[in-house]
């Protein structure tokens, strides 16, 4: 049985987080350190310290690391509240890619790797990257992985080119996917490696100009030039990178949906306030049926998206993998929330395409959400394939 009631303690946490975002985080939305390439690392660290002081840093972490260890369903409530500002998840250290990377690392690192690479990320002292996507094709289809790794029994040597690597500049914890070549020492195939970002052989060629600007330090083009790593850099089992990627992506798709639901609800709130006060043709905009219908469509969409997220979370909390449900949620929610943001721009008119409100930024970032962790078409392909089996 699915219970839609939000327990009192969880509701109190939601209010606490929303208040923190409204009072502490939103004033930073005009900070010049929120650049075209996203928040700078300096801005991120300042926001993180505010969350630390408020007792709201990395609340999704396991209890052993000082977190609240919420269920997926509880995360949905918490992350939606954090997403009321696109800077909220950054402050609370529950933004992508760190949130998904922390989840994966907690599942498959050795104790030594966890102390070196996971704990500092959970504590907000450093950022992480997941280096998978490549210009030649590896991304939505990771089987096209071209970056290679060789192993001689003592060390790995990695070569290849990646791009759209979120937060690459300044990140310390690096998860790298490479195709381990045949060797006599261990199985070959797509493999994950874990290393420090300051290693020689990691070359950040440039930061790409993209339409979104809500991820710290933007998206980088990275070249691995004879990156030499010790045997201890192996993350998990060799040849199992695609399985681990799915382990990370199913819940990560949902956390994207949770955070962007909060942002879309914020845009809707701004549009409603504007429709109540702006007048045209002798009455407020909201009194015109064309505008009120757009707001009504938004409210319906927000409700449907919330229920879709909650159901997928419930599936995961039952112990199921939830790949089918998370794909449905990601494709549906990303498309519907983009429509919500678009209608909010329309209601605001000329103000909607300016930076007079945060709606314009939410709209641009929401467009990119339709691509994060797999574009809608890839998810629909996977859903259709599952249906036809």
Mean pLDDT for 213-223 is: 96
Closest CA to 164 of 134, 195, 126, 202: 134
Q: Read off the pTM.
A: 0.96
**DSSP state letter for 116:** I
CATH superfamily of 128-239: Butyryl-CoA Dehydrogenase, subunit A, domain 2 (2.40.110.10)
Give CATH 1.20.140.10 domain extents, the chain. 242-388
Question: pLDDT at residue 66 above 90?
Answer: yes
- For the stretch 11-16, contacts whose Cβ atoms lie closer than 8 Å and that sit 24 or more positions apart, written own/partner, are 11/77, 13/59, 13/68, 13/77, 13/78, 13/81, 14/77, 14/78, 14/80, 14/81, 16/56
- The size of the chain, in residues, is 389
Give CATH 2.40.110.10 domain extents, the chain. 128-239
**CA torsion 129→134→140→142, rounded to 10°?**
-90
pLDDT of 3: 85
Q: How far from 183 is each of 150, 243, 255, 383, CA to CA, in Å? A: 8, 21, 38, 36
pLDDT of 304: 98
Closest CA to 327 of 316, 338, 318: 316
Mean pLDDT for 147-153 is: 98
pLDDT of 141: 82
pLDDT digits (tens, 9 = 90+) for 307-356: 999 999 999 999 999 999 999 999 999 999 999 999 999 999 999 999 99
Q: Could you name the CATH architecture of 242-388? A: Up-down Bundle (1.20)
Predicted confidence band of residue 164 (pLDDT cuts 50, 70, 90): very high
| Alpha-helical regions (H) of 22-83 | 41-54, 72-82
pLDDT digits (tens, 9 = 90+) for 234-293: 999 999 999 999 888 888 999 999 999 999 999 999 999 999 999 999 999 999 999 999
CATH superfamily of 8-95: Acyl-CoA dehydrogenase/oxidase, N-terminal domain (1.10.540.10)
Please give the angle made by the CA atoms of 345, 351 and 352, to the nearest 5 degrees: 15
Give CATH 1.10.540.10 domain extents, the chain. 8-95
CA distance 273 to 357: 12
pLDDT digits (tens, 9 = 90+) for 79-119: 999 999 999 999 999 999 999 999 999 999 999 999 999 99
Predicted confidence band of residue 203 (pLDDT cuts 50, 70, 90): very high
Which residue in this structure is represented by tokens 């799915």?
A: 246
């Amino acid at each position: 049985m699915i219970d839609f009631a939000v327990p009192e303690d969880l509701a109190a946490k939601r209010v606490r987080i929303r208040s923190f975002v409204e009072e502490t985080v939103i004033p930073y939305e005009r900070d010049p350190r929120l650049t075209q390439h996203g928040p700078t690392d300096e801005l991120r660290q300042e926001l993180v310290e505010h969350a630390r002081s408020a007792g709201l840093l990395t609340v999704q972490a396991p209890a052993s690391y000082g977190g609240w260890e919420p269920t997926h369903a509880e995360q949905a409530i918490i992350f939606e509240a954090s997403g009321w500002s696109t800077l909220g998840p950054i402050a609370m250290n529950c933004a992508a890619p760190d949130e998904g990377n922390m989840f994966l690392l907690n599942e498959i690192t050795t104790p030594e790797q966890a102390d070196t690479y996971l704990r500092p990320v959970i504590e907000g002292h450093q950022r992480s990257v997941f280096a998978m996507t490549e210009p030649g094709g590896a991304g939505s289809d990771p089987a096209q992985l071209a970056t290679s790794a060789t192993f001689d029994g003592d060390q790995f040597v990695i070569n290849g080119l990646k791009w759209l690597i979120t937060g690459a500049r300044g990140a310390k914890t690096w998860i790298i996917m490479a195709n381990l070549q045949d060797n006599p020492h261990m199985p070959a195939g797509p493999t994950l490696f874990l290393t420090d970002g300051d290693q020689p052989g990691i070359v950040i060629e440039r930061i790409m100009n993209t339409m979104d600007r809500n991820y710290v330090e933007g998206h980088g083009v990275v070249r691995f030039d004879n990156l030499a790593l010790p045997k201890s850099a192996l993350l998990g089992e060799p040849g199992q990178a695609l399985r681990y990627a799915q382990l990370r992506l199913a819940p990560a798709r949902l956390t994207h949906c949770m955070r962007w639901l909060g942002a879309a609800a914020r845009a809707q709130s701004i549009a409603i306030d504007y429709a109540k006060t702006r007048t045209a043709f002798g009455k407020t905009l909201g009194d015109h049926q064309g505008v009120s219908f757009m707001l009504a469509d938004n409210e319906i969409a927000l409700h449907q998206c919330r229920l879709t997220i909650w159901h997928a979370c419930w599936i995961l909390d039952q112990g199921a993998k939830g790949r089918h449900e998370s794909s449905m949620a990601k494709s549906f929610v990303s498309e519907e929330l983009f429509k919500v943001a678009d209608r909010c721009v329309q209601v605001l008119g000329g103000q909607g395409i300016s930076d007079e409100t945060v709606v314009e930024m939410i709209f641009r970032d929401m467009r990119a959400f339709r691509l994060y962790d797999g574009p809608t078409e890839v998810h629909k392909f996977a859903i259709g394939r599952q249906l036809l089996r």
